[in-house]
Structure 1
Amino acid sequence: MSDKSSLVSNVSNNDIEALWNSVEEETADPREGIFGWSSVSWKVNREAALFLGAGRAALLQLAHPWVAAALDQHSNLRNDPVARFHNTFRVVFTMIFGTLSQALAASRHLYSLHTRITGELPEGVAGYRRGGHYAANEVNALLWVYSTLVESALMAYDCVLPPLSQEERKSYYAESRMMAALFGIPAEALPADLGAFEEYNRGMWDSDRLGVSTLSREMAQGVLHGRGSLVTIPEWYRALTAAWMPERLRVEFGLGFGRQEQQAALKALRWLPIIYRRLPGAVRFVGPYQEALARLEGKHVRSLVVTSNRFWMGQGRMMFSVGGKQDPDDEDPG
């Protein structure tokens, strides 16, 4: 068995500083943020349909032994999966929809958090040995987490809305490379284009860089059943998540996908687009996107937007900044 634990390329302070500088240089309008209202990234990530792919992304991340061990040893995922959901989207949505200063602050928070997350694997699985060292700020581990978010977002979008054109998909991936920099991933570590990105994902699914351990299987069941929270996960959501998983990992996770689950997933794929496309924008578009529009239009953030933000991020506003204070570039006008 090869030991992937030895393939370590941690993001140094100099590395992340260089990445932050590059993001600042490439951002056209700091108030719009790293993408802006006309980007494909805003078009895709404003959709509440992203929630449909959240379970898939979470399980794909847990299929990386480093990620599973880190979440078990350094987070409260087992007891409070909703908090993990909030923590993820608080960072990601702030990077996408926040001002440049907010996006950079979210990146600094993430980098600081990851520098403290190290440990040893509790069991051997796939190409990893028991006791092997892991670090959250390792480039390849960061690349995998980023990839699961980008790919699952595209899958969820195409599930309920007219699929993006190939050119839009290419643009979406090209834009996402800016967010990858905020994750701490240098450009040279990223697949060069959309085709290479898709090939990278397929290669990972079949490689010994992923493997479902007893730990990751237990944690995945907790995620899919909402254990430790008041959230009830419907059967159709679990079936859809299973349908979207690569077959090898679906089997390793022990996800049921017999006739009943297949029918539930097919039914969901039929009725979800019909219902979703009828939703008003106030419900369909996530709070952080609506907050960003209010910022650009010089308007107050409405109470419904605050409520949506609390669902997605666990707080009413995007407020990553030094000392936890609100970014002065994002204060309510008037």
Structure 2
Amino acid sequence: MQTQTNNNYESSQTLNQAVTKEALHQQLEVMTRRVLDPNVGLYGPGSMAWKVHGNISVMFGAGAANLLQLAHPWVSQAIDQHSQTQTDPMGRLQRTFLNVHSMVFGNLDQVLESAVRVHNIHAKITGQVSESTGRTKKKSEYFANQVEALLWVHATLWIIALRVHELFYGEVSQAEREQYYEESKLFAFLFGIPEDAMPENWDAYVAWFNDVVDSDLLAVGKVGRELVDYLFTMRSWLMPLLNRHRIHTAVLLPESLRAPFGMPAVTPEVQAKFDFDIKLIRNVMKLVPVHLRWIPSQIEARRRLKGKRADLITRMTNKLVYGQPLLVP
């Protein structure tokens, strides 16, 4: 099933380019010059990035971010043909979290190492599209290190994360949105996305995101639908949680993508369940200890900056989430 759109969105020449190894290192040099303290890394305790992405509530938007990514045919094709999502879902999840959280919470060495590692993985991800969806034609070539595909994934992560944060903690100011967006550029540089490929400010960034959603660049085909069906049924013992998260995902998704992905319509009953869960989680988060409010890599990073080693609970949680006890050895 495909999304039906009629939009004039067109990719620019910059967005169509591939990120080469040379281009990546150029962006890493730009990023490094903006880092004030190598031990802190990209952001630090006063950043919007740590405030938003370091809170466990960010996981509430995981389903929506994943589906938005899979709505891009190149992303769904790459995952279907190259990923271990269905053969080793936990391993793939751990590796993804390890790389992304190393970039956000690691020291500069950790950040650079993760950026190069992810680029090298992406450089091997090329192939032919197996079906026609939207403007993407069957047997056309795709490659993971395309600027536009990388920027789309970037937008799904940063825009959905802030929307979820505001659901639980209230709207942030426009100044905070702009700070958050400027911080997001450092993350974009880690994938080789050049600054001139990014919209001018937060509002332009969201407008670009909405233009892509309304365009035929996004389209849900058989491959994307099957991947989503697997994600929401992959473990029988998780079904009660996954069924509830299906509701959260449906509400957070743009309306045009709900039916193509098999998500429920947002009826008053569905919206009421969503609102109930938001209120419940918001109240619970006020009462739980820090290890249940923050993701473990933020706790480790804050202790690292104080010259302390990660505590036992954090090391155990790290082992579960990342497959290793310490993010920064």
Q: Same fold (TM over 0.5)?
A: yes
2:114 counterpart of 1:114: no
1:294 equivalent in structure 2: 303
2:285 equivalent in structure 1: 276
* In 2: Cα distance, 1:149 partner to 1:298 partner: 30
1:115-264 superposed matches below 5 A: 115-225=123-233, 227=234, 231-232=238-239, 233-257=241-265, 258=267, 260-264=269-273
* In 2: Cα distance, 1:165 partner to 1:106 partner: 31
Equivalent pair of 2:126/2:144 in contact (CA under 8 Å)? yes
Letter in 2 for 1:299: K
Q: Which moved more, 1:196-205 or 1:265-274?
A: 265-274
* In 1: Cα distance, 2:253 partner to 2:290 partner: 29
| TM-score of the superposed pair, with normalisation by structure 1 | 0.90
Determine what percentage of the aligned residue pairs are the same residue: 33
Where do 4+ consecutive residues of structure 1 move more than 6 Å? 1-4
SS of equivalent to 2:249: helix
Equivalent pair of 1:236/1:268 in contact (CA under 8 Å)? no
Corresponding residue pairs, total: 318
Equivalent pair of 2:27/2:194 in contact (CA under 8 Å)? yes
1:66 equivalent in structure 2: 74
Q: Which moved more, 1:33-42 or 1:100-109?
A: 33-42
Unaligned runs of 5+ in 1: 320-325, 327-334
Equivalent pair of 1:173/1:193 in contact (CA under 8 Å)? yes
* In 1: Cα distance, 2:229 partner to 2:294 partner: 29
Equivalent pair of 2:25/2:192 in contact (CA under 8 Å)? no
1:331 equivalent in structure 2: none
Alignment deviations for residues 221-257 of structure 1 (CA, whole Å, 9 cap, x no partner): 21123x1586443432210110110000112112112
Alignment deviations for residues 24-70 of structure 1 (CA, whole Å, 9 cap, x no partner): 11110000001122111111111001110111111000000000010
1:9-24 superposed matches below 5 A: 9-24=17-32
Structure 2 CA distance for partners of 1:64 and 1:238, relative to 1, 3 Å: same
1:49 equivalent in structure 2: 57
SS of equivalent to 1:134: strand
2:318 counterpart of 1:305: no
Unaligned runs of 5+ in 2: 1-5
Q: Which moved more, 1:130-139 or 1:216-225?
A: 216-225
